[in-house]
């Protein structure tokens, strides 16, 4: 009996560990996530995003000309609309940039409808 337990117990513990890992939700960086974070976190995220884009591109992204405060305010306003909650932050940030650049309202509306349709199937991380 002890021999069987010695063989079965490690398998049992591995199975429990693997199933616990599979049940963990992955973090979805959308409006639900954004609205749970502090203002300081928002500012740090936008600063990090802008710096990261500079490193990746080798030059400033088109969002670099906007202050982090403007972008944070834009994202806060964007995610206040419940219809935008499932839109990923990596899609929302360029959209806010388009708003700040003064892109025509009809183009912004079309872009927003596409983002909402794409995000409609995204699960809520809670």
pLDDT in tens, 32-77: 999 999 999 999 999 999 999 888 888 888 898 999 999 999 999 9
Give the chain's mean pLDDT. 84
The span from the CA of 66 to the CA of 60, in Å, is 11
Q: Is 8 exposed, middle or buried (0-12, 13-18, 19+ CB in 10 A)?
A: exposed
Specify the pTM.
0.74
């Amino acid at each position: 009996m002890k021999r069987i337990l010695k063989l079965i117990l490690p398998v049992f513990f591995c199975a429990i560990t693997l199933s616990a890992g599979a049940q963990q939700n992955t973090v979805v960086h959308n409006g639900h996530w954004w609205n749970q974070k502090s203002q300081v976190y928002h500012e740090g995220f936008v600063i990090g995003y802008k710096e990261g884009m500079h490193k990746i591109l080798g030059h400033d992204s088109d969002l670099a000309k906007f202050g982090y405060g403007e972008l944070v305010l834009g994202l806060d306003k964007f995610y206040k609309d419940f219809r935008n909650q499932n839109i990923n932050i990596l899609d929302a940030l360029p959209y806010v940039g388009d708003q700040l650049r003064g892109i025509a309202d009809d183009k912004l509306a079309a872009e927003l409808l596409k983002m909402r349709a794409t995000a409609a199937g995204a699960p809520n991380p809670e």
